[in-house]
Structures are given as C-alpha cells and as structure tokens.
Amino acid sequence: MQKFPVPEEFALKQTAPKIAGSGVIIGGDKVVCAYDLVEQMEYFYVRVVRAKELPGKDVTGTCDPYVEVKLGNYKGVTKHFEKKSNPEWNLVFAFAQEQLQASHVEVVVKDKDVVLDDFAGRVSFDLVDIPRRVPPDSPLAPQWYKLEDKKGEKLKKGEIMLALWKGTQADEAFSDAWHSDAAAVGSEGVSKIRGKVYLSPRLWYLRVNVIQCQDLLPSDKSRPPEVCVKVVLGNQALKTKVSSVKSVNPSWNEDLVFVAAEPFEDPLVITVEDRIAPNKDEILGRCVMLLNSVSRRLDNKPVPAKWHNLEKHPLVEGQKKEAKFSSKIHLRISLDGGYHVLDESTYYSSDYRPSSKLLWKSSIGLLELGIISSTGLSLMKSKDGRGTTDAYCVAKYGPKWVRTRTIIDSVSPKWNEQYTWEVFDPCTVITIGVFDNGHLQGGVDTSIGKVRIRLSTLETDRVYTHSYPLIALKPSGVKKMGEVQLAVRFSCTSYLNMLQKYTHPLLPKMHYVHPLSVIQLDVLRYQAIQIVSARLGRAEPPLKKEAIEYMLVVGSHIWSVRKAKANFVRIMNVMSGVVAVAKWFDQICQWKNPLTTILIHILFVILILYPELIFPTLFLYLFFIGIWNYRWKPRHPPHMDIRLSHADAVGPDELDEEFDTFPTSKSSDVVRMRYDRLRSIGGRIQTVIGDLAMQGERFQSLLSWRDPRASALFIAFCLSAASVLYITPFQIVILLMGLYVLRHPKLRSKVPPPSTNFFKRLPARSDLML
C-alpha cells in the first residue's frame, strides 16, 4: 500500500505524562490507583452546608444571607436567601493547589443589601491545619463553627457548618463543585460548565405493517376512493402508497419503520385518508395507541395482527364511548428488538448490540480513557475585545457520553479526567471531540476538532499516551486547531471471547435475516440522531445538538469532490498490490532477471507434478509475509490523515461547494459552473462503466449467435478443446499453458495473440445506443 508522508504539524506525537498507568508513579498517594491515566491534580475543598441563628438587620431579626469563600485572589459565592436566618446551601468550592496564593482561607457570611452588603460574620482557617482526605475514605463530616466579627472575637449568635479538606480530582465532590478556574462565571452559569456523564436513550425500530381496511365511509360515494394510510410517531411521519384496490375495503400489506426511544412518550397516530384532489385529503378515520402496549419481538417471527377501530375524532385515553358501528384497520405492529438502531456510521460505530437486552452478550473487556490536557487551541470567540476559548471535551462510546468540565479562558486547558466503558466488541471506535462553550455568552458550542480511535488497533493492557492534532476543514482550507493529550488503555477480561468476536457477524442477526434498505437506514439514522439530540439536550447541563451532530457526523453522505478524489486514491492504493504483482509477473515473463525466471519455472513444474503442495505453499508464503511485516507493525494508533483525506490539495471552489448548504444557496452562475464540472466527472465515469459493460456483452455474444461466424468458431473450438482435454492429462495441459505464458521474449510476437484479437472482434451493444 502506498503511503504518503504527513507534515510534522499534523503528525501524531507520543508523550510521557506523569501518570501511574505508564509506570511513572507520582506522589506516593493511593488515589492514583483509581485515576492512573491522568496527572494527579491537588485541590483544596470547602463544603458550605448550612448556617443557623444568623443575626438580622431589621426588626424581625431575619436577613438575606449568602456566603463568600475567599482564598487569595479567588472568591466563591453562594446564592442568597431572602428573609432566612437558617439557610442551607450544601455547596462545594474547589481551589486548585497550583493557584493558591494565600496561607489561610476565610469564609464570610454576608447579608445582601440594595446598596452595600452587610457583614454578618466570618470563620478563618490556616491551610496547614487542613486535613487530607484520600478516597475510598468516607467523606469528611462537616462541623459547626461559631462566627467571628472583624476583630476575631466570637459572636453571641450565628454558626456555620463547614467541612474543609485537601484532595484530588478523584474526590466524589469534584464534578459538582465550583472551581476556581471558573471564577469568572457567575453562580447561574456554573451548571453550564460542569462535567457530566450522559446516557443515550435505548432506541428501537417500530415496524407498522399496514394490511387492510374494512367498511370505510367516504363522503363522496359516487367515486372510487383513493385511500392511503398516514402513520405519525412524534416528529416522524410516513405514508403508504395509494391502495391499488379502489374500494371501501382497500389493502396494502406495506411496512413502515420508525425509531422509538425509551421511555415511550409519544403515541402512535394512524390516519386513513382519501385523496379527493391533488392537494386535498379527506380523513376517513383515525386511531391512537400507546407504544407500551405494543408487542416486542426478538427475531423475524411475525407478531399477531390485530383489528383496530377507526374514529373520526379519537377519544382521550380513559374516556368511554357507547359502542356503535365503525370502520376498522388491520395492523401488525411490533417493536423489533433484534436490530441495532444505527445513530453512527457503520464504518466507525461504537456499538453493535441489538435493542433488546435479552440478546446482549457479556462484555469482553474495559476501555479506559484519560483526557489529560490540550495545547495551542485556536481562539474561537471574542470577549472584552480579545480572543478567548472556553474548552471542554466530549467522548462517546456506546450509549455512554461523557463531558469534561469547561476550562474558562484558556488555550492550554488541563482537565485530567478519567472515564471507563465496558467493551462488547473490539471492532468499535471511540470518538473524542473538543468544543468551545459558547452558551456562556448566549451563543452555540463551536467544534474545535475530534479524534477517533479504533479499539482493534490497540494492544491489550498497554497504555497509549499521545498528543493528537485537532484537524478541521474550514472554507479556507485544512487547519490545525490545537492538540489534545489522551491516555488510552484497552484491557481484556477474556481473550478467547474477544477472538471469537472476529468470527461473529458485525451487526445483529435481524440485519441479515430481514434487512432494511440503504435508503431506510439513512432516514432512520437521521431520525435516531434527532431523538438522541433532543433527549440529551434536555439534561442539566444540556449536551447541545451541535456537539452531538458533530460527533455523529451528520451529513456525511453529501456529495463532495474532495471525498470523491480521496476515495479514488484509496481504491488505487488498494489495487497497487495487484498492480505490483502483475508488473512482477510481466518481468518474469519478459525474462528481465533470468535466474528468477528459471526458479519460477522450477517451482511451477514442482507444483504441477505435486498439486497437493499448491495450497500449503500459498498459505505458508502468506504466513512468512505476515511474520516479515511484524517488524514494521504500527506502534501508534492511527489518526486523521490529511493526505488520505485529500484535504491539503483541495481547491477553494471545491471547499466552497463542500460547505454549501443542501439545497444549495449559491447563485445560478456558480451552480451552473459546478454542474458542468460534475457533468465532466460523470462523463468520465460513464465512459469507464460503458467499457465494462462492453466487455461483458462480448462474453455474452460468444454463444448468442449475434455474430454467426464468431459463434460457430467458438463452439468448434469448444468441441476441439473438450476432445483434447479428455485425452490429455490435466497436469500436462496446465504445464504446457504455464510454459507458454512464461516463454522467452524471442518466442513472443509483437502483435496481440489470436484469442485477444478474436475477443475484440465480438459484437457488443454499443452500436445500439442512441
């Protein structure tokens, strides 16, 4: 395979972070056993639980209290309560050790006022007296502390419950804490920058088999009804074809497939419509049903079909109505749990398990990811007249999404967060994306770059520590947006089970027994992405739609000249091995190296005399090639290749076309120029396809008597060949053919052989084309 050198700027770099998993033990602290793929970060934690008997400023004795935690130049503030002397906050403040610029911490209780907040009391602690807590120790119990005035004297009234300790990012309070590196974010925005773990909803394919209707009541009985069925589930709507049976008892037997997500909230609405005009439909009946009552199936055995009443105005659930005559519809509805609902491309999917948990197999290993840091990030937005970046990472594997906390105003953020996933298939891909948090300023989250790592390319129980370039394709061209440092380890619980996975089908059995069309899969994948985006967008903090669509690569099927060229180069690289073998064999036939040609003659004669050695020789040759190539096996996981993607040699107009909307938003002149270019490309493809078709038609014409003389010659040759091959031993025939192919150039003619001349004279159907 041909390989192109990648510029150093876009190359993968091996790193040596101070992590325990790589063999570099740090700090002598046992916490690194749980967080051994990230660098240990020291934090000082203050938990403000509650206060009681706070002194008031008015006649009622109440106040509007809030708490300030001061440590050097950093100050964390709780929300304030109105008219409350015994408030409860239960909020944790985390101050990074490297940012500490003081020897003591001060907790101040204040009474909020319109003009100037009043001082209510304070408590001060020396940092050297703060204990250290290491998980899995139990959390430190908070204690009551009497408030002091500004002179340090104890107040008669007022106490505050606090817990103070030193720890690391392994502390369970870390994820929900207020962080000193986000001091510029107000208390209202803290929830938007916290790290969280999200779970995608479990998705099912809902199959609605519309069979027939009976006793429909169209308003116009003078014309045969043209009936179709419309089925709606949430934002998804599909229609059957107009029934070929033009009567009040139409039939279809047509399948409509939807994507449904647990918990099943949206009802299924079936509407029977009569097309009375090109743009006008009359509703003949409707029924509504909940998905919780729908049968679930694990294989391709059909569930029982049921008749349902059609109502002009469906009843609200629980409402009763007197029984009377109604039209009916015959449906077979099932939730198909034997499929895997694709929300990612099959080329780099992170999960292939079916929807039903009853069909899940046991896990084969564990994937651990350490998101350490990022360097050299591009400035993504402007704030106070200067560029800034508020970066966070998102990692997706299987149904589990993880989001790191947002590091405010830093182009070199350090996250040092570690996550784990169960692995059920080694031939899966984990995706890590880096984003700029734009929701703090009321904007959208902007993608910076992403990394994909295929688990099957990793050695088990080895820690990979690399700095991955974040590459983005912009309208101006390919650009490096920074680097992200990751540590990855894939550990296997059962090596035998993992090897068995390589012999199993990639997708669940139902994808092969009852396959869905390519068009169906594309539509259903788009619907699945919309459902996942809507569900995760309702979490707190929300995982935004733009981040999810970037991770799941929405719109990857849109035409691109760059991608077409890149895929053509990929095909040529794949065929390069075959071309190299063909060139080598031609050199053998041309006797370029007489010694090699003689050795090939000897090997050929041995294999003909002892044909039982052919396959052992072939597989032994492949074995030695594999052993020989082991010395050059890749030592690093693969990464985005700008040369393979043809991103470094793409023109500005081709990039402008790739970033164009669908449908296009360009002027007619630009669209005409691109259409002409596409016609030119299509013309070349058309010529190649026509040549392939012509060669196949020539083969078909050998016995079709389209050319009676050519067919007569061919059948005469077949009769002669059958007689000769019947008399002559097969080994002799093969030996003579091989020696003829390997004959010396002096015995060759410059003109093509008679067989080639005969084949090229055969008729094709090209002369019948208009």
pLDDT tens readout for residues 712-753: 998 999 999 899 888 888 888 888 888 888 888 888 777 888
In this prediction, residue 374 carries a pLDDT of 94
pLDDT of 27: 41
| pLDDT confidence band for 270 (50 / 70 / 90) | very high
- The fold of the 202-316+324-336 domain, in CATH, is Immunoglobulin-like (2.60.40)
**From the CB of residue 117, how many other CB atoms can be counted at a distance below 10 Å?**
16
Verdict on whether the full-model pTM lies above 0.75: yes
Instruction: Work out the angle between the directed axes of helices 545-552 and 518-536 (0-180°, nearest 10).
Output: 150
Mean pLDDT, residues 250-275: 93
Within the chain, all domains assigned CATH 2.60.40.150 are found at 42-194, 202-316+324-336, 357-552
Superfamily of 357-552 according to CATH? C2 domain (2.60.40.150)
pLDDT band for position 317 (50/70/90)? very low
CA angle 431, 437, 438 (to 5 degrees): 130
Q: Are 8 and 49 in contact (CB under 8 A)?
A: no
Highest mean pLDDT among 159-163, 381-385, 686-690, 738-742: 159-163
pLDDT of res. 32: 39
Alpha-carbon gap, residue 6 to 650, rounded angstroms:
16
482, β-bridge pairs: 470
Model confidence pLDDT, tens digit, residues 463-497: 999 999 999 888 888 899 999 999 999 999 888 99
- Per-residue H/E/C for 169-197: CCCCCCCCCEEHHHCCCCCCCHHHCCCEE
Amino acid 21: pLDDT: 67
Instruction: Please determine, for residue 26, whether its predicted confidence score (pLDDT) is greater than 60.
Output: no
* Per-residue pLDDT at 329: 93
Percent of the chain with pLDDT over 70: 94
pLDDT single digits (tens) 319-330? 545 546 678 999
Secondary structure class of 387 (helix, strand, coil): strand
Q: Contact 47/163 with Cβ under 8 angstroms? A: yes
Whether 314 shows a pLDDT value over 60: the answer reads no
Task: Give the lowest-confidence range in 143-152, 493-502, 739-748.
Answer: 739-748
pLDDT for residue 61: 64
Tell me which of 326 and 90 has the higher pLDDT. 90
Using one digit for the tens of pLDDT, what is the confidence trace for 595-638?
988 998 898 888 888 888 888 888 998 899 989 988 888 888 88
pLDDT at 325 (0 to 100): 63
42-194, what's its fold? Immunoglobulin-like (2.60.40)
pLDDT for 235: 92
Average pLDDT over every residue of 336-340:
94
Could you give the angle at the alpha carbon of 147 between the alpha carbons of 107 and 116, nearest 5°? Answer: 65
The residues near 154 (Cβ < 8 Å, ≥ 6 apart) are: 146, 147, 148
Using the predicted structure, report yes or no on whether residue 708 has a pLDDT greater than 70. yes
Block residue for tokens 């912009």: 474
430 — alpha (psi -120 to 50), left (phi > 0) or beta?
Answer: beta
HSE value, Cβ hemisphere, 13 Å, CA-based, for 460? 13
Range with the lowest mean pLDDT among 128-132, 368-372, 763-767? 763-767
Higher pLDDT, 551 or 476: 551
* pLDDT of the residue at 178: 86
CB 368 within 8 A of CB 488: yes
Lowest mean pLDDT among 137-146, 362-371, 654-663: 654-663
Query: What's the pLDDT at 186?
Result: 65
Cα–Cα distance, 353 to 338 (Å, whole number)? 9
